[in-house]
Structures are given as structure tokens and as C-alpha cells.
A = this chain, B = another copy of it.
Amino acid sequence: MTDTNWSVPETEVLSAVGDALAAGREAVLATVIDVEGSAYRRPGAKMVIEDGESAGSVTAGCLEDEVRSIAAEVRAAGEPRVETFDLTGDDGTWGLGMGCNGIITILLESIDESHRPVVERAADGGDVGVVTVVDGDRPRGERGYYTPEDGFAGDLPEWLRAELSEPTAALLDRGEADTLQIDCDEGSAEVFVDGIEAPPHLVVFGSGPDVGPVVDLAKRAEFRVTVVGFRGAQATADQFPAADAVLASSPASVESVVAFDPDTYTVVMTHNFVDDRIVLEALLDTPVPYIGLMGPEERFEELLDAFAEDGATLPEDAFDRIYTPIGLDLGGDSPYRIAYSIVGELLAVANDRTPQHLSEREGPIHDRITADPETADRTAPE
């Protein structure tokens, strides 16, 4: 971890937490837990600080130096700390100064075993709602982990779990984070609820020279990436160092090596007509929302003819899920530019957006964080 990688894909920030844990290194995690007014990052934004170096960012560069210096104190003291930075001035909402406005509250804590379940869950591709006490009757830093399947695990008392199940499930469902005040007969506490959604999963079928750029860019766009090669020797982890997994399979049995769910996106680029046909048929049997198929439209028509000859019937929603020709129309025909258009399409579909210039879009650009306009007035990257 060097000072130059402060801006890394979000997925790498949690990896940095895991790396510090695995190596037994002392490090501090800074997390934005509350924002009022205009700010570059939302609650849940994280930064890992180790020996003055860092990965990730909590603002547009206005607070990073200060956060690094407080992190050193937190590491020395061993106690979690909550710091509020008031960056509002009398210079108007959008700032004559650094463009870092609003009031930003940051939780700083030494990375310890209480982070391990989060890192492990993320590595498994699972969602987790992390609840951390920041103030009130309970000790700061007390932590619970919520999953839709199992409810809460961890240290939180029963009354907090009961109060928090519903809001945590809701925040996790939206992949959002918020600070909540809980007051009931048993006690009161301010808690930070961090809905950490697993990154969407991209599965690429193929092992040609056009696969590498797709893997590379999809990792930067914060996908978890699996490459499936149909000629074992050709798809190796060495060949795709950025991939989370490189697997071998036969086209007909891809379901035995990958779990396909509604958050799995697939790109078929085997350059082999028969392989493409078989894997396409297998994917249509799964709930994946996106099947990108490399090749011109005529080739897809030939694939459909081959289906018909086999007597195979396509599911009714096949044409809503198959994207061919693959990608957005951004121009360029080099492997990297084709990959750029593919991953752009993956992002648009995963985030349910209509690809177009934001300057031509009507309506608010970003979904509101909460119903409270005081904490949700960010409408575009500032």
C-alpha cells in the first residue's frame, strides 16, 4: 500500500482491511458515518491508513491529511474515535474554497478481529449489514453483523438487535449507510449502520486476448470477476491476474462451477460458435439478468437458427436478457475500447440506468440517500 493508491476501487479498500488483518499489521479504518450538506463521499466511504499511507478516500482531498494524522493518535490510544468536521463556511453552498462543504462525521478505529467477519463475508460475495455503536449507553465500537438469512451475529444486546433488524435490512437492501439514534426502555444508543452489498459478479466465458481488458476494466468498475475457460490450459490465473477466480469447465456444465444468481452478469466471448451456443442455452436456464454475447447480429441469428434446429425453445424473457451486439456505442475497435463499452453496459444494467449523457438527463442524478433533505442534498458528484 503506497501513498499513490489513495484512490482505489472501493472493493480494494475492504481488501486492504483484510490484508492488514492477515499480516497482523497495525492499521486504522476511517469511515464516513454522517454527512450534512454537500460532500464528495457518502456515509459508508472508507479509508485504510497504515504507517501514514492510505487506500481509499473520505472526502475530495480536503480532510485526508488530517484524518491520517488523527489515525496515528487512534492507533496509539487503541480506542475508536468519532470526529466531526464542519467544512461549511459563509461562502455559499457550492463553495468558493476547496469545494469541500458540509459537515462530515468520521469514525476512526484500529482494525481488529471485529472486522474479520466483514472481510470474510465480502470475500465470499455476500451482503452484510454492519452495526457499530458510536455513542450512548453501549461501548463505542461494539459491533453486530446482520445477514438476511441469519439476522444478527456479534456483540449487540438483544434490545438493539430488535430495534435495528428492520432498518438494517432496509439499508442493506439499498446498499446504503446511515447513523441512527435508538431510544427505548432498555437504553439508548447512536449506531452507524453500514449496508455493505457484495459487488456485482461478472462471469466471463472465454480466454482470448479480448478477455483480459474486460477483466481489468470490470475490476476497476468494482465487479467481482470470474473467468471461465473451456480449454483448461488456456485460461489460467497467470493469464488473468486481476480476476478473482479463473475456472475451467465444459460449456454444458457451467452451473456446476459457478453459482448464477440475479446479481450475476455474464459475457460470452469464446469465439467458438458451438461453445457460445451451449453456454447461452445453459445461461438462459439461470436467473442472470444480463447475457452479453460477443459478435455481430448475424452471428446471433445463426445461433438462433441452431437453437431452432435442435428443437430448443428460448424462455420468453430471453431477448430482454441477451445483449448483442454487446456493449455501449462509444466507438473504437481496439480490444481495450471494446472492453470499455462492454463494462459500461454492465454498469448501466447493474445500476438500472439508461446510458446517456448526464447533462441530457432530466430529474435528480443521484438517488437520494435518505428522506431527510438535510442529509441528502447531494445530487451529482461535486
Q: Mask for A68-92, Cβ within 8 A of B = 1, else 0?
A: 0000000000000000000000011
Comparing A121-129, A141-149, A157-165, A319-327, the segment that makes contact with chain B is A319-327
CB contacts (< 8 Å) of A222 on chain B: these are 332, 334, 336-337
Q: Which residue of B lies closest to A295 (CB)?
A: B382
Query: Given A94-B273, A213-B7 in contact, is the A331-B350 Cβ separation under 8 Å?
Result: yes
A interface, how many residues as a size bin? Answer: 35 or more
Q: Mask for A203-244, Cβ within 8 A of B = 1, else 0?
A: 000011111110011001110000000000000001101000
Query: Given A61-B207, A209-B7, A220-B217 in contact, is the A326-B272 Cβ separation under 8 Å?
Result: no
Task: Tell me whether B365 and A344 are in contact (CB under 8 A).
Answer: no
Q: Is A343 an interface residue (CB 8 A)?
A: yes
Integer count of this chain's copies in the complex: 2
Query: Given A99-B272, A357-B345, A358-B329 in contact, is the A60-B209 Cβ separation under 8 Å?
Result: yes
> Complex formed: what's the CA distance from A24 to B217 in Å?
33
Q: Can you give 9 A-B contacts (C-beta < 8 A)? A: A4-B239, A8-B336, A61-B208, A91-B273, A97-B273, A99-B273, A297-B379, A322-B359, A328-B344
Query: Which 10 pairs, one residue from A and one from B, show the smallest C-beta to C-beta distance?
Result: A331-B351, A99-B271, A61-B208, A296-B380, A57-B209, A7-B212, A325-B380, A330-B347, A94-B299, A325-B358
